Structure 1
Amino acid sequence: MMTDPMGDMLTRIRNASRVRHGETRCPASKLKLAVAQVLTKEGFLEGVSTEEQGKKSELVMALRYDDFGKSMIDSIQRVSKPGRRIYVGAAEVASVRNGLGMSILSTSKGVMCDRDARAEKVGGEVICEVW
């Protein structure tokens, strides 16, 4: 039994980017799809799609690299974990690495990056940080 499916997805992305894979797959869920779409929108992933396999569906995430083959993701870390949830208010949403990275939040208005959360003045659960 998996206790942290989001942590598993982030680990799969981290491991695949370190060995220069073109894509990685993980079991799909609505939250994972929303996080992958935010990563795509912010330029860390090339794209994301879902594939149906019988009753189960999988997320297929295409990783993004620069012209020299370096991954766009230097690090991706889980912040809020099942054993310790981390919530921030609208005024407490901080930038990551002085704006070079981003955090992904699950808010009442959906999953969004820290910049969008500050613009909409909403807080929520900090899912992960990426830089």
Structure 2
Amino acid sequence: MDSIANMIIGIKNAGNAGKEFVVLPYSKLKEAIANVLLKEAYVKSVSKKKRLNNKILEVGILYEDDVPKIQGVQRISKFSKRVYQKSGLLKPFKSGYGKVILSTNKGILTDRQAAKEKVGGEVLFKIW
């Protein structure tokens, strides 16, 4: 399993287990993804910390009425099969209730942000 899949599944599973936060190994890509999830109100907090000689990323889980905000995730682009999407072909996911997260030349963006800025990119995952 790749690091992005490990991150999003870890956040989802922590929410289903009732945890307050999840600790993940740090990378700039994971921090950028976590910040997009924070802006889109899928997580409560994101903080970078240092433990011994390793950097970690602590992600706070967001709940609505004791139910985790993240109900499901689906990894789209993988090492074995990269999936790219043009800006004109980006469509709303789950009638606008879900988000598609993309890696573009302007950074990590949601499908709406990418369509607004008219950029395409690698489709990382879907979240709802």
What runs of 5+ residues in structure 2 fail to find an aligned partner? none
What runs of 5+ residues in structure 1 fail to find an aligned partner? none
TM-score by length of 2: 0.96
**Are 1:72 and 2:99 matched, yes or no?**
no
Letter in 2 for 1:122: V
The aligned counterpart of 2:20 is 22
Structure 1 segment 1-131 matched on structure 2, within 5 A: 4-66=2-64, 68-131=65-128
Q: List 4+ stretches of structure 1 deviating above 4 A.
A: none
Letter in 2 for 1:76: V
- CA deviation vs aligned residue, 1:57-87 (integer Å, no higher than 9, x gap): 1110000001x20111110121111111110
Counterpart CA distance in 1 for 2:124 and 2:116 is: 18
Aligned-pair identity in percent equals 36
Q: Secondary structure at the match of 1:47?
A: strand
TM-superposed CA distance for 1:55, in Å, is 3.0
Letter in 2 for 1:113: T
